[in-house]
Amino acid sequence: MILRYVITRSKSKNDLHQNKADKHRLDFVRYFQHVKECIFPLSANLAASLASKDEPALISASNLTCIREERLLFDQLTIEINAGDIVQVEGPNGSGKTSLLRILAGLSQPYEGEVFYKNQLITQSREEFHQNLLYLGHLPGVKGEMTAQENLNFNLTLHGLHINSSEIEETLALVNLTGFEDSLASHLSAGQHRRISLARLYKSTANIWILDEPFTAIDKQGVHSLEQLFKAHIKQGGCVILTTHQDLLTFSPSQIKKITLDYLID
Amino acid sequence: MSVANLSYRAVFSLVLKRDLTIAMRHKDDIINPLLFFVIVVTLFPLGIGPEAQTLSRIAPGIIWVAALLSTLLSLDRLFKSDHIDGSLEQMLLSPQPVFILVLAKIVAHWLITGLPLILIAPLLAVLLHLNEQSYEALILTLLLGTPVLSLLGAIGVALTVGIKKGGVLLSLLVLPLYIPVLIFATSAIDTAALGLPYSGQLAIIAALFFGSLTLAPFAVGAALKVSTN
């Protein structure tokens, strides 16, 4: 509106001023774009996604409503997550972050609404969706009776990835578990359990990563290398959806999409 | 590293091997139901008295009721520990069909709890003066019947796995489903003791076995999805 106003006004001036006005207009457009980018950091992403509309959103949800224990956690939530996005779900404890992630992963049914993988309902394209999904919940999914190596091997094989034992050792080394390959998981700490389950990320071919509090019980160094891993993953056309109460330090704020759940706060 | 679709057999053996490994390292799972079975059966002669005639009359019932209760005792472990540590979620989210995963887990459960029971049952039958002609019927009914217990029980466990104290509910859900197996199995053993053919009863147990083998894994899969919701 303002822009058009400026332009029409400049046009109404006489020809002498025309050049100057054009320059002025150009400057103004640039300035306006800059301001817009400062205020709406997502618009660049959004424009890109609009431009390549033939590429369907990796994961999208429409009108999600979630009710737990007779409390409304979120209502009519519509999300679209594209390749290259890193999405942080924010909100206080009990605001429905985990519920949202579980609904997106297809573990829970929403009260209302639907989740789509590449514009197909996830319930209809279950196998394809699960092949491209890596979900790590609150619970590490590590069996105490099996060794670190066996746990990782089982989890990878179950998801259709065949890797040999030397590769498994390498992967465990990446999450600082060298020397613990053959220890029973029940003898390891909570942080090490989490590391065993996170080790899957290094070998995953899934493009959707849904991670619920991945940094719990992980030390600073581990958090840093995980963030590097996320960067590499989104660069390769994947997306990361995570909840964390920590700040993602190696990402600039403009890179991170945020979904804030604060329905409960009055 | 390669991404490949696993064959059903590969998925089945993967999960089966995992569950058996866990059971071998956590021997309580094997010993506890077996010990319960042995204790219950050996307590009866002590309580009732050593008359061979009375004991041989009630032997089929005692062995089958004890087998049923010991299976019930062991059912909880089928999905509970996987649910608690989150590996159940991961299995449901894997690209493999749920019924194969479930079937493998049930087969593992039967190998851990049902098979040792069948192996030890003839010994305990001696203790109860079971009629000599009934041994074959006892083994056959146990072979066909205990898998039914595991399969039907799995449905109950899958439905109650998300509930904190699902034990009572589980018994209420599962025991009525076990009654047909109990009736036909004991009736087969009794008929065999009279020297009559018992293939009719056996055929009904076989029908229950194949019916539950083909349908239970799907029911369990659906029940698990509800429970983890």
Choice among A39-48, A165-174, B2-11, B90-99 with the minimum mean pLDDT: A39-48
Q: Comparing C-alpha atoms, which of A243, A230, A240 is closest to residue A100?
A: A243
**pLDDT given for residue A264 in this prediction:** 57
DSSP string, A29-68: HHHHHHHHHHH-TTHHHHHHHHHTTTS--SEEEEEEEEEE
**Quick one: pLDDT band at residue B147, thresholds 50, 70, 90?**
very high
Cβ <8 Å between B90 and A138: no
Q: Which of B11, B89, B97 sits opposite A139 (nearest CB)?
A: B89
- B70-80 per-residue burial string, b: 16 or more CB within 10 A, e: under 16: bbbbbbbbbbe
CA dist., res. B86 & res. A185, Å (int): 14
Distances (CA, A) of A193 to A139, A149, A216, B189: 9, 12, 11, 51
- Would you say A123 and A106 are in contact if contact means Cβ atoms under 8 Å apart? yes
- Does the pLDDT of residue B76 top 70, yes or no? yes
The shortest C-alpha distance from B131 to chain A (Å) reads 43
pLDDT higher than 90, residue B153: yes
Given a contact cutoff of 8 angstroms between Cβ atoms, the answer to whether A90 and A258 are in contact is yes
**Residue B35: how many CA atoms within 13 Å on its side-chain side?**
6
Shortest Cα distance from A75 to chain B (angstroms)? Answer: 18
The pLDDT of residue A9? 34
Q: Tell me the mean pLDDT in the region B158-162.
A: 91
- What confidence category does residue B167 fall into, taking pLDDT thresholds of 50, 70 and 90? confident
Task: Say whether B95 and A131 touch across the interface (CB within 8 A).
Answer: yes
Predicted local confidence at residue B229, as pLDDT: 81
The alpha carbons of chain B give a radius of gyration, in whole angstroms, of 19
The three-class DSSP label of residue A167 is helix
Q: What is the mean pLDDT of residues B195-201?
A: 94
pLDDT score for A51: 46
CA distance A238 to A133: 10
User: Do A107 and B26 lie within an 8 Å CB cutoff?
Assistant: no
Chain B partners within 8 Å of A143 (Cβ): 18, 22, 81, 85, 87
Q: Which residues contact A131 (CB under 8 A, 6 or more apart)?
A: A159, A160, A206, B3, B95
pLDDT in tens, chain A (266 residues): 333 333 333 333 444 444 555 555 545 545 544 444 444 444 444 444 444 556 788 888 888 888 888 888 888 888 888 888 899 998 888 888 888 999 999 888 888 888 999 888 888 888 889 989 999 988 888 998 999 999 999 999 998 888 888 888 888 888 888 888 888 999 998 889 999 999 999 988 888 999 998 888 888 888 888 899 999 998 888 999 999 888 887 888 788 888 888 765 54
Interface mutation target, options A102, A117, A133, A157, chain B, most CBs of B under 10 Å: A157
With CB atoms and an 8 Å threshold, state whether A158 touches B91: yes
Taking only the tens place, the pLDDT of each residue in B216-225 is: 999 999 999 9
Candidates B89, B92, B105: best to mutate against A (most CBs of A within 10 A) is B89
User: Between chains, do B86 and A162 touch, taking CB under 8 Å as contact?
Assistant: no
Distance CA A75, CA A172 (A): 41
B205 closest CA partner among B190, B187, B189, B185 = B185
**Is the Cβ pair B22, A146 closer than 8 Å?**
yes
Closest to B35 measured CA to CA, from B98, B113, B109, B141: B113
Name residue B2's amino acid. Answer: S
Instruction: Work out the minimum CA distance from B214 to partner chain A, whole angstroms.
Output: 21
Q: Where are the domains of chain B?
A: 3-227
Residue B40 forms contact with A (CB below 8 Å): no
- List the Cα angle A193/A195/A196 in 5-degree steps: 65
Mean pLDDT score of chain B: 92
Q: Is A75 exposed, middle or buried (0-12, 13-18, 19+ CB in 10 A)?
A: middle
- From the CB of residue B107, how many other CB atoms can be counted at a distance below 10 Å? 20
